[in-house]
Amino acid sequence: MSTTEVRRGDPVTTVLTWEVRPGREQEFEHWTHGITRCARRFPGNEGVSWLRPEDGHRFHAVLRWSDAHRLTAWLESDERAAWHARIDDIAVELGSERQSTTGLETWFSLPGTTVRPPSAGRWC
């Protein structure tokens, strides 16, 4: 689901995937601290978490925003672009792997998705 498909006002979580050049992981880790501080100051940010690989070179950022429009403002911001320019030779964001959800996907089958809702279990 793209960020433009999420209704205005719904909280959104986005996962960004980064491919880090071998041997540059420490530099990338240092960069993640700076861009995280910058994102947290941006309007609508509700948190950023990083998932580091045990093996390999793919890092994942989990961004939580108050709504898709504020997330888009961050993704298209000059501040974010400046941070990206700092690591051109260290890592690349894999835009084809970007995923966004509103959280409703775990309860309802949305058009164009393969996610199945959880069983009702004892709560019904």
Q: How confident is the model at residue 124 (pLDDT cuts 50, 70, 90)?
A: very low
Distance, CA of 119 to CA of 71 (rounded, Å): 31
Mean pLDDT for the chain overall: 81
Rounded percentage of the chain residues whose pLDDT exceeds 70: 75
Closest CA to 92 of 22, 30, 17: 17
Beta bridge partners of 47: 64
Tokens 């888009």 -> residue:
72
Distance, CA of 99 to CA of 120 (rounded, Å): 26
Q: How confident is the model at residue 33 (pLDDT cuts 50, 70, 90)?
A: very high
Please give the pLDDT value at position 1.
Answer: 43
Is residue 52 pLDDT above 50, yes or no? Answer: yes
Is residue 110 pLDDT above 60, yes or no? Answer: no
Q: Which tokens is 9 given?
A: 């006002």
Distance, CA of 30 to CA of 21 (rounded, Å): 14
Q: Which tokens is 91 given?
A: 């890592």
Please give the pLDDT value at position 9.
Answer: 75
What does the pLDDT average to over 103-108? Answer: 51
Closest CA to 9 of 64, 63, 67, 65: 67
